[in-house]
Amino acid sequence: MTTKFTEDHEYVTVDGDTGTVGITVFAQDQLGDVVFVELPEVGRELSKGDEAAVVESVKAASEIYAPLSGTVTEVNAALSGEPGLINQDPAGAGWLFKLTVRDHAELETLMDEAAYAEHAK
């Protein structure tokens, strides 16, 4: 499994051809308490950089962009009833959606954990 990060504070963990997408701990700290999540439809085709979801907090609404191109295969249905999972466990139970990765070469355009930590300072 490989985890990469975007400049917009999304992460994608890739296992084979499946990418699990969410927002980073830094992003959820900046947003504050998440109160609503709008997730993409299963089957939606996304290109890298497309707006894929919206996370709303008590402070602001934030667009979530696709870190990689692919087809949405699953959304985290638990978030509709419990959006606070994003605050509690953004890299675990608070994931947003999964997609089938179309182009693994796009991973090379994303940051590794060390580069992201430097970026988030």
- Domain ranges across the chain: 2-101
- The domain over range 2-101 is classified in CATH as 2.40.50.100: yes
Burial pattern 10-38, b for ≥16 Cβ within 10 A else e, equals bbbbbeeebbbbbbbbbbbeebeebeebe
d(CA 79, CA 88) in angstroms, rounded, equals: 12
Give the tens place of pLDDT for each residue, 49-89: 999 999 999 988 999 999 999 999 999 999 999 999 999 99
Q: In the predicted model, is pLDDT for residue 112 greater than 90? A: yes
The confidence band for 121, taking pLDDT boundaries of 50, 70 and 90, is confident
> What is the value of pTM for the model shown?
0.96
Residue percentage of the chain with pLDDT more than 70: 100
